[in-house]
Amino acid sequence: MSKRYRPLIPFLILTGILIFVAVFAPFLTPYDPYLQDLEGALAAPNSTNLLGTDRYGRDVLSRVIMGSQTTLCASLLLLLTISVFGSLIGAICGYKGGKIDIFLMRMSDIFLAFPQMIFAVAAAGVLGGGLFNAAAALAVIGWPKYARISRGLVLTVRSMPYMDAAKMAGTGSIEMLYRHVLPNIAGPVLVTAALDIGTIIMELAGLSFLGLGAMPPTAEWGAMMNNGRSMIQTAPWVILSPGAAIFITVAVFNLLGDKIRDVMDPKNQRREVF
């Protein structure tokens, strides 16, 4: 393996562990995360319940593990949706130009004019509670950034000599897009997406914390923090456990995004060559 990729290995391993826990969460929980035991409510961390129990006697560790599936899967699916959709819109606008470019870019300007979280709160409030509606609200405001990035990259690629050569060879527009344009914009879009994962996790958790995301009794980190905020002085483990899970996950993905950006930086590539 090239030396340039070696710094990625520890963060890829940590990311793999997080994704493994999220995928196999139902098999990793020591107890049923939804089983209530009012007699054991608000028990402090002990040998039986390593992170204690919540107000309904549910095991906090089990709910944190199950919450990783809800939070991570929803965040990654949302990221995939907005990055692919936004990149395709930007690629089409940059390649075709004309009225469709003007119309879609003006739409993106409108969305970018609003603070993202405030717009998401308003949209989620109108749509109603629920994780799907929260993700939809974030998707509506999230795609313009990728559209702008990919459009700028396509405008650069379109002026390259090999694009003119492909046109002269009779290559169609669709083939030009997936064969010559999209592969050349994939790198910067991937870096942007990697750096966005942590932000999306926090935004989804934030909407759930405000009561606009996952609804009880769903195990989701933001919703768990919302349910435990009134007990921060009497039973701090109820809110600190999901908060620590958010902190660790966001930190891992942000560090991974930073390393991916460093690895794909052309300056570092030239440095390795010379």
Q: What is the CATH number of the domain that holds 85?
A: 1.10.3720.10
**Euclidean distance between CA atoms 92 and 64, whole angstroms:** 41
pTM value is: 0.86
Indicate whether 267 pLDDT > 60.
no
Residue 45 placed within a domain: no
3-state secondary structure of 59: strand
Nearest to 38 by CA among 23, 53, 48: 53
Residue 133 placed within a domain: yes
pLDDT over 90, % of the chain: 36
Indicate whether 216 pLDDT > 50.
yes
Give tens-digit pLDDT for 163-209. Answer: 767 677 766 667 777 777 777 788 888 888 888 998 999 999 999 99
Give tens-digit pLDDT for 89-101. Answer: 988 888 788 888 8
Indicate whether 111 pLDDT > 90.
no
Interval 147-159 mean pLDDT: 85
Residue 46 placed within a domain: no
Q: Is the dihedral of CA 16, 20, 22, 28 positive or negative?
A: negative
Residue 55 placed within a domain: no
**Euclidean distance between CA atoms 135 and 154, whole angstroms:** 28
Q: Is the dihedral of CA 213, 218, 222, 226 positive or negative?
A: positive
- Which DSSP string corresponds to 128-158? -SSHHHHHHHHHHHHHHHHHHHHHHHHHHHH
Residue 127 placed within a domain: yes
Residue 113 placed within a domain: yes
Interval 247-260 mean pLDDT: 90
Interval 251-264 mean pLDDT: 86
Q: Report pLDDT for 274.
A: 45
Query: What count of Cα atoms within 13 Å lies in the side-chain half-sphere of residue 259?
Result: 17
Q: How confident is the model at residue 265 (pLDDT cuts 50, 70, 90)?
A: low
Indicate whether 61 pLDDT > 80.
yes
Instruction: For residue 140, give its domain range.
Output: 3-25+65-268
Q: Report pLDDT for 217.
A: 87
Residue 179 placed within a domain: yes
**Euclidean distance between CA atoms 29 and 10, whole angstroms:** 25
Higher pLDDT: 93 or 273? It is 93
The region that residue 36 occupies, defined by phi over 0 for left and psi between -120 and 50 for alpha, beta otherwise, is beta
Residue 57 placed within a domain: no
The region that residue 9 occupies, defined by phi over 0 for left and psi between -120 and 50 for alpha, beta otherwise, is alpha
Residues with Cβ < 8 Å from 124, sequence gap 6 or more? Answer: 133, 134, 137, 207, 212, 213
Interval 131-136 mean pLDDT: 89
**Euclidean distance between CA atoms 175 and 242, whole angstroms:** 47
pLDDT over 70, % of the chain: 92
Interval 226-235 mean pLDDT: 88
Nearest to 33 by CA among 227, 256, 163: 227
Give tens-digit pLDDT for 27-45. Answer: 999 999 999 988 889 999 9
Q: How many CB atoms lie within 10 A of CB 110?
A: 10
Domain count along the chain = 1
